[in-house]
Structures are given as structure tokens and as C-alpha cells.
Amino acid sequence: MELLEDKTYELMSRILAGEASQDERTVHERRLKDAGYRQMWTQCRMAWQLGHEAMVQQSVDVDEGWRHVKTTLHQTEFKGSLWQRYFRVAAVAALLVFSLVMGVWWFSGVQVHPVEVIVADAKRDVVLPDGSSVTLKQGSTLQYQSDFGKSNRQVSLTGEAFFDVSPDVIHPFIIETGAFSIKVVGTSFNVRTNLDGFSNVDVDGGIVEVAFKRNKAEVIRLQPGEALMMTAEADEPKKLIASKNNWAWKSGQLSFRNETLEQVFMVLQRNYGWLFRVEDASILEEQMGAEFSESDPDYVLQVICKTFNLEAHRENNIVTLVRRN
């Protein structure tokens, strides 16, 4: 039991520190389906955040910061003394390191600075100072100020990301993109900015308000299960039903209900950047019903080829499909 808690702590601490590998992030996302693990993750983020907040002061007080962390930990039931010892060590270490950094910033006269997270080759999980989590898709950029959460919670996004926002009615969470702003209090949703002419907001839970920069009076309120799609050409945004397939790049889960292969290919293109070509147009009319969990695009393509007797030729991100003789 102690060995399991040890490994769990190491995994969570690496996620929070932004040092986790892709495999570790995959394991973490899979284990979040377990209620016990989710509760432990929430407690871990709270302790980490309290340690961070205690140090963002004009006067750094390590002892006071640790008292805040210790109070929170004592109010929460953890299994086993080893878990508590690790949290104490992690919190003290985080406070000490942050104290040194804050000391340098304070005496150099730099108190607030921009933070930029750029994701190049693979998706990345980011935990913001308020405990909100963001999963950035490859090729995306997230920007915010180092005092995030103190007077406001505002970020700028280029690309695509899935947000799980911590509730805070005093400080609404604001996401700025090139075409619109998103305002939330606490919810989970996927945002795709104008990369290829399309922008989408898909709400998984909570309430989201989308305000358009071309007309600040134009605000659309989205409920759970609703989505908004915008194109550069269209005058008005289109309200749709949210599809979890739109954030399969994060979850790895895909679900198709008698959808044409043309629709399936559009989902794979959106999530994985693949472009599909067919030598026979009738291939696009074939209908598919299937569910994929912890899937990857190569496996999905194999299933498609086997089901419809197709042969795939892939060159970089272009996939050509032909019927087998």
C-alpha cells in the first residue's frame, strides 16, 4: 500500500510541476476516471496551490505559508502517514524554492511578469496558480500574468485547449482569443481558435458566456452539452450540440453512431491533423458505428480498413484510401 501511495504521489507531483512525460500524463488521465484518485488529485492541487499562494506576498513568510498548507492537510483525510509526510516535504520544498525566486524578483523590482506556455510536438497539461487545469493541444500557446488569480484570472489562447476551471465567483475566468472572449466561473470545456477558418467552443459542464470582439454587445450563453461554431466567412455563429469527439485529442475516446466515413475522417482530421483522400467517392458514403477508448489514430485507421476492406497508404499526414481487389 505504501509503495502504491509513493508512486501516486510521484506521478501527481510531476504533473503539477509540468515535468511529466507523455506516458505519465496518459496514465494520469486514465486514472482520473477513478473517484478515489480524482479526490486525491483535488486534494493534491489544493495543497500545491496553497503553498504557491502563501509565497506570492510582498513579504515572504515560509512559516505562515506552511501553516496554511498544514491546516488544509489536517482537514482532509489521507490514507497512511507516508502520504502526509510526502505532502509536507513537497510543500516545504515548494515554499522554499518559491521564496528564493520571489526574493530575487522583489529586490530586482520585478513583481509581475508574463508567463507563456508553448506546446510544440505533444499535448501538455498545465496547472494554473488558481488550481484550474488546462490541457494544451500540440501547436498551441497559452499566456497569462504571474499574478494570475490575485486580482483577475485572464489567459490568452492560440490554438486549442481543454479547460477545467476551478470555481471562483469573485474572479471569473476569462479566455481571450483573436475573435472572441470566453467568461466562466467554474466549468469544463474545449476551445479551438481560428487555425483553419473554424473556431469552436464545446461545453462539457457548467455555463460559458462567449462575447465577440466585432460586437461587444453580442454575447451567447452556452449550457452543458452545447457548442458554438464560428467561421471567418459566416456573419453569425452557429449553435450546435457539443460532441466529445471534438476533444478526443485529449481524452483518447471516440464514438461514432452510424456516421459516414466522410464524417469520421473529419473528426480524425480535426483531432490528429490527418488529411484523407479516396480514389472511390463511394468510400465516403460507407457508414460506421464504433467506440474507441484510449485509442490512437493508427488503430482507428486499421479498424476502418478491416471493416470496409480498404487499403491505406500514408505519407506524412496524408492518408489515401483505396478498395482492395
pLDDT of residue 321: 96
Over residues 138-164, the pLDDT tens digits come to 999 999 998 898 888 999 999 999 999
pLDDT of residue 128: 94
Please state, in angstroms and rounded to a whole number, the distance separating the CA atoms of residues 141 and 126: 11
- More confident: 68 or 261: 261
How many percent of the chain have pLDDT more than 70?
73
In total, the chain counts a number of residues equal to 325
Helix extents (H) in the chain:
2-17, 22-31, 35-55, 62-74, 81-108, 248-251, 261-272, 297-308
Q: What percent of the chain has pLDDT over 90?
A: 41
- pLDDT of residue 71 exceeding 60, the answer is no
H/E segment holding residue 163: strand 160-164
Q: Is the pLDDT of residue 79 over 50?
A: no
Q: What average pLDDT does the segment 251-272 reach?
A: 92
Q: How confident is the model at residue 66 (pLDDT cuts 50, 70, 90)?
A: very low
Q: Closest Cα partner for 124 from 92, 100, 159?
A: 159
pLDDT value, residue 193? 86
Query: Given a cut of 60, is residue 65 above it in pLDDT?
Result: no
300 pLDDT band, cuts 50/70/90, is very high
In Å, how far are 91, 171, 176, 310 from 319, measured between CA atoms?
49, 46, 34, 12
Residue 23 pLDDT: 78
User: Three-class SS of residue 251?
Assistant: helix
Q: Which amino acid is residue 272, in one-letter code?
A: Y
Q: How confident is the model at residue 11 (pLDDT cuts 50, 70, 90)?
A: confident
pLDDT at residue 26 in the model: 79
Give the residue-averaged pLDDT of 73-81. 48
Q: Please give the domain boundaries of the chain with CATH numbers for all domains.
A: 2-108 (no CATH), 114-245 (2.60.120.1440), 252-323 (3.55.50.30)
Maximum mean pLDDT: which of 108-112, 188-192, 318-322: 318-322
Position 4 scores a pLDDT of 56
pLDDT at residue 296, rounded to an integer: 82
What is the structure's pLDDT at 238?
A: 87
Listed range (106-120, 148-162, 198-212) with the worst mean pLDDT? 106-120
* 197 pLDDT tier (thresholds 50, 70, 90): low
Answer yes or no: is pLDDT of 61 > 50. no
Degrees to nearest 5, angle at CA 139 with 137 and 143: 80
**Whether residue 174 has pLDDT greater than 90:** yes
- Is the pLDDT confidence value at 246 over 50? yes
* 90 vs 18: CA distance, rounded Å: 15
Exposure b/e, 50-61, CB count within 10 A at least 16 = b: bbbbbbbeeebe
List the single range of 14-23, 64-73, 263-272 with lowest mean pLDDT. Answer: 64-73
More confident residue, 57 or 228: 228
**Residue linked to cell 509526510:** 85
What is the average pLDDT value for the chain, to the nearest integer?
79
Q: Which of 24-38, 148-162, 297-311 has the lowest mean pLDDT?
A: 24-38
- Ordered DSSP codes for 67-104: HHHHHHHHTS--SSHHHHHHHHHHHHHHHHHHHHHHHH
Q: HEC string of 202-241? A: EEEECCEEEEECCEEEEEEEECCCEEEEEECCCCCCEEEE
Grid coordinates belonging to 35: 473517484
Parallel, antiparallel, or unpaired: how do β-strands 238-241 and 275-278 relate?
Answer: unpaired
* Across 213-229, average pLDDT: 84
